[in-house]
Amino acid sequence: MRALTLVSDRKLELSELAPAPPPGADEVQIRVRAVALNHIDVWGWRGMAFAKRRMPLVVGAEAAGEIAVIGGNVVGFKAGDPVVMYGALTCGLCKACREGRDNLCENVGGVMGFHIDGFARELVNMPARLVIPVPAGVALRDAACAPIAFATVQHMLFDNAKLEPGETVLVHAGGSGIGSIAIKMAKAIGATVITTVGDDAKAEKAKALGADHVINYRTQRFEGVVRKLTEKKGVDVVFEHVGAETFNGSLLCLKRGGRLVTCGATSGASTTLNLMQLFQQQYRIIGSFGASVRNIRESLAKIAAGILPVIDTEVTLEEAERGLARLESRQVFGKIVLRL
Ligand SMILES: [Zn+2]
């Protein structure tokens, strides 16, 4: 079977792998149809000296497909069912897993496509407990954006930051995959959304997604504009993933008792923190990584209800490097999806 493998830093190859073995008793075999790209794929492609992994590695952390074969103990799936897969191999046994906090698994086997072989291959076997049905009417291309991009945003905004209707949220990089989803999800519950973008063309697109205010961070200091827009009060929630370039400015945008939730550091991983400001302003800073299986179900339900992902481009497996380069250069508006 065909698979897209990382053979060395910045070098992907289409390989011919041995056919997938039959699924184990508690597994299903999935025919992969669409793989969505995320920043973790860019990190993996660039090379991560500290990440434990062996090359060649099948890439792809987020995907959708159809059930091909069912293991002997599996109930609830049949051949042809559209599904998505959880993006990490959790143990299913530890306290966190039993409590449905899958992204806190104590014995996680690794992130698919990053530490261990991922989804960019024709057939993959997965434990049935990590496979989630796609509701009727949802395209597999859109469903492929649920397990990581949508579910991460769902987990950040609602489990972690506890965003409420009527509150104001600052969404950084509204043109990114998760930024564009965050704008739509926050607007859908009746929040006011301020977002940042890097050029005027993206500003128009972010407005079209429903953002109430759009700031071009290259021409304006976003902290100053947010203060003005909120009449010096600040926002209730900041959705961070840009990192070093924006983190301190983001804290300055928060109102007293505000919540900052972060899942990324694309512009750099280190910053300094004013501890006086942190406790006097009673900020809550929350790190967020991945999501639970429940968050994926919630995300698919939102997609089925019409909150669709913004698709920047669709590419073939052969064109994957072009997709990754586009993501790395921040030219994207929305998600890039590989079709199999
Ligand atoms: Zn576990």
Instruction: Output the pLDDT for position 49.
Output: 62
Tell me, in angstroms, the distance from the centre of ligand 1 to residue 170's CA. 33
Tell me, in angstroms, the distance from the centre of ligand 1 to residue 84's CA. 19
Q: Is the pTM of this model over 0.75?
A: yes
Instruction: Output the pLDDT for position 184.
Output: 98
Tell me, in angstroms, the distance from the centre of ligand 1 to residue 294's CA. 15
- Location of structure tokens 């909120």: 230
Instruction: Output the pLDDT for position 115.
Output: 94
Contact 6, 55 (CB under 8 A): yes
Residues 6+ apart with CB under 8 A from 335: 36, 37, 145, 149, 177, 180, 309, 310, 311, 312
Tell me, in angstroms, the distance from the centre of ligand 1 to residue 159's CA. 19
Terminal alpha carbon distance of the chain: 12
Tell me, in angstroms, the distance from the centre of ligand 1 to residue 26's CA. 16
Tell me, in angstroms, the distance from the centre of ligand 1 to residue 109's CA. 9
Tell me, in angstroms, the distance from the centre of ligand 1 to residue 87's CA. 14
Tell me, in angstroms, the distance from the centre of ligand 1 to residue 102's CA. 7
Q: Which residues pair with 170 in a beta bridge?
A: 194, 238
Instruction: Output the pLDDT for position 47.
Output: 84
DSSP state string for 75-137:
-S--TT-EEEE-SB---S-SHHHHTT-GGG-TT---BBTTTB--S-BSEEEEEGGGEEEPPTT
For 246, counting Cβ atoms within 10 Å of its Cβ (0-12 exposed, 13-18 middle, 19+ buried), the class is buried
Instruction: Output the pLDDT for position 324.
Output: 95
Contact 151, 144 (CB under 8 A): no
β-strands 235-240, 168-171: how paired? Answer: parallel
Position 53, amino acid: R
Instruction: Output the pLDDT for position 50.
Output: 66
How many other β-carbons are positioned within 10 Å of the β-carbon of residue 305? 11
Residues 6+ apart with CB under 8 A from 246: 172, 196, 217, 222, 240, 267
Tell me, in angstroms, the distance from the centre of ligand 1 to residue 303's CA. 28
Closest to 29 in 3D by CA, of 76, 77, 86, 92:
77
Tell me, in angstroms, the distance from the centre of ligand 1 to residue 106's CA. 5
What distance in Å separates the CA atoms of residue 84 and residue 255, rounded to the nearest whole number?
38
Q: How far is CA 333 from CA 155, 167, 296, 310, in A?
A: 22, 25, 22, 7
Tell me, in angstroms, the distance from the centre of ligand 1 to residue 91's CA. 4
Tell me, in angstroms, the distance from the centre of ligand 1 to residue 115's CA. 16
Contact 41, 91 (CB under 8 A): no
What distance in Å separates the CA atoms of residue 126 and residue 30, rounded to the nearest whole number?
8
Tell me, in angstroms, the distance from the centre of ligand 1 to residue 98's CA. 7
Instruction: Output the pLDDT for position 198.
Output: 92
What distance in Å separates the CA atoms of residue 169 and residue 195, rounded to the nearest whole number?
8
Tell me, in angstroms, the distance from the centre of ligand 1 to residue 127's CA. 13
Tell me, in angstroms, the distance from the centre of ligand 1 to residue 186's CA. 30
Instruction: Output the pLDDT for position 54.
Output: 85
DSSP secondary-structure letter at 226?
Answer: H
Question: DSSP 3-state assignment of 74?
Answer: coil
Contact 217, 179 (CB under 8 A): no
Residues 6+ apart with CB under 8 A from 50: none
DSSP secondary-structure letter at 180?
Answer: H
Tell me, in angstroms, the distance from the centre of ligand 1 to residue 232's CA. 44
Tell me, in angstroms, the distance from the centre of ligand 1 to residue 24's CA. 19
pLDDT tens for the chain, 340 residues: list them.
Answer: 999 999 999 999 999 999 999 999 999 999 999 999 999 999 999 987 667 788 899 999 999 999 999 999 999 999 999 999 999 999 999 999 999 999 999 999 999 999 999 999 999 999 999 999 999 999 999 999 999 999 999 999 999 999 999 999 999 999 999 999 999 999 999 999 999 999 999 999 999 999 999 999 999 999 999 999 999 999 999 999 999 999 999 999 999 999 999 999 989 999 999 999 999 999 999 999 999 999 999 999 999 999 999 999 999 999 999 999 999 998 899 999 999 9
Tell me, in angstroms, the distance from the centre of ligand 1 to residue 92's CA. 5
Tell me, in angstroms, the distance from the centre of ligand 1 to residue 111's CA. 13
Tell me, in angstroms, the distance from the centre of ligand 1 to residue 89's CA. 9
What distance in Å separates the CA atoms of residue 126 and residue 53, rounded to the nearest whole number?
19
Tell me, in angstroms, the distance from the centre of ligand 1 to residue 16's CA. 32
